[in-house]
Amino acid sequence: MPTVLEVKNLSKNYGQLAAAQEVSFSVSENEIFALIGPNGAGKSTTIRMIATILSPSAGTAEVLGYDVTKEANQVRELISYLPEEAGAYKTLTGKQYLEFMANLYSNDKKIITEYINRGAELAGLGERLKDKINTYSKGMTRKLLLARTLMIKPKLAILDEPTSGLDMINAMEIRKIIREFSRQGMAVLLSSHNMLEIEFLSDRVAIIDKGKIHEIGTSVELKAKYNAKNLEEVFVQATRQV
C-alpha cells in the first residue's frame, strides 16, 4: 500500500512546553490511523501541524511527498481537516455552508455541484439543511462539518475527535461513513477518547502521552503485548508507565 502520510520526528514547543516531541508514524492508503492519549497529550497539536496550520518547531511531515511547511499549498489540495469542537458560520444555512466550502476546493462548476450533492447526502439533515446553522443542535452541526470534510473525497482526512458530542446512533452512522470512504482509498488520521470506536474503526493505533508516542500497533498487537482484554486496559497501562 502506498504511503500517504509520513511523519518524522515532528516536534512543537509552546515556550517551555514541549507539546509534541519527535513524533514519528506513517499512514498508508486505505488505512485508518488513530491517535489516543489523555487530555493535553499532544494529539491536537500533532494533527494541526499535519493540517498545515501550526508550523513545527522541528521534524517533518509529508503528504504524498509534499512537505507540510514548504509545500503547504500542495498539501492543502490533498487533505481535509475537521477541527475538534468546531462550529460553522452561524449566519449561513447548512446548504450555504456546503456551497461556500465546495467553492474553495474547486473552480469547476460540475465538480462543485458533485461536492455539494455528496455533502448534502452525507449530512443527512434533509430539509433542515435549508435552516440557519444557529438553529442546529451540536450533533447536527458536527454531522454537517463531517459531511463538509468528506464531501471532497480527500486523499487524507484528518479528523480530530470526529464523533465527540454525538449520540450512539449518529456516532455509529459516522463511523460507518468513515470506514466506507477509507475502503475507497482515503487515508484517515483521527484522534479519539472512545476506545470502542478505536477498536471498531482503526487499523493501527498510536498511544501518545506528554507529547511522545509510546506505542504503535494494531489493537490486537497492543492487547497481546500488554496482556489486556481491551484497548482501555492497554491505554491505562501504557500511560501509567510514563
Partner 1 sequence: MHKLLTLIKKEIREMVTWQVLVPALVMVGLFMFIGNVLGKEQAKAKAPQEVLVVNNDNSTTSRAMIEVLKKSNFKVNELGVAPLMVEGATAKERDKAIADATISQAKEKNISVAMIIPAGFGVGIDNFKPQKIETFTVMKNFNFQSSQTKAILDAAVASFNNFLSDQMISKKAGGGVPADYKNPIVRADTVIIGERQAAVSPGQVIGFVQGQATFVPIILFVIITLAATMIATAVATEKENKTLETLLTAPVDRRHIIIAKMAGASTVALIMAGVYILGFGYYLKGLGAGVGGGQLGEAAAQLGLVITPSGYALIGITLFLGILCALSMATVIGSFAQDAKGVQGLISPLMILLMIPYLLLLLVDISTASPMLKYLIYAIPFSYTFMAIQNVFLQNYQLLAFGIAYSFLFFTVFVLIAGKIFSSDKIITLKLNFGRKRKQVG
Ligand X SMILES: Nc1ncnc2c1ncn2[C@@H]1O[C@H](COP(=O)(O)OP(=O)(O)OP(=O)(O)O)[C@@H](O)[C@H]1O
Binding site for Mg ion (CB under 5 A): 43-44, 84
Q: Of partner 1, ligand X, Mg ion, none, which one sits near residue 184, judging by CB under 5 to 8 A according to partner kind?
A: none
Q: Among 69, 72, 3, 16, which residue's Cα sits nearest to residue 211? A: 16
Task: Tell me the window of 59-67, 89-97, 120-128, 192-200 that interacts with partner 1 (CB under 8 A).
Answer: 89-97
| Spatial distance between the Cα atoms of 141 and 221, rounded to a whole number of angstroms | 36
| Spatial distance between the Cα atoms of 145 and 180, rounded to a whole number of angstroms | 17
Binding of residue 55 to partner 1 (CB under 8 A):
yes
Contact assessment for residue 132 and residue 92, using Cβ atoms and an 8 Å cutoff? yes
Q: Which is nearer to partner 1, 164 or 237 (CB)?
A: 164
| Spatial distance between the Cα atoms of 47 and 220, rounded to a whole number of angstroms | 24
Binding of residue 163 to ligand X (CB under 6 A):
no
**Helical axes 138-150 vs 94-105, angle rounded to 10°:** 20
C-alpha cell at 159: 479528523
Q: Which is nearer to partner 1, 148 or 204 (CB)?
A: 148
Using CB under 6 A as the binding rule, the residues of this chain from 83 to 122 that contact ligand X are 84
| Spatial distance between the Cα atoms of 226 and 217, rounded to a whole number of angstroms | 12
Q: Which is nearer to partner 1, 30 or 57 (CB)?
A: 57
Binding of residue 39 to ligand X (CB under 6 A):
yes
Q: How far is the CB of 172 from ligand X (least distance, A)?
A: 22
Q: How far is the CB of 187 from ligand X (least distance, A)?
A: 20
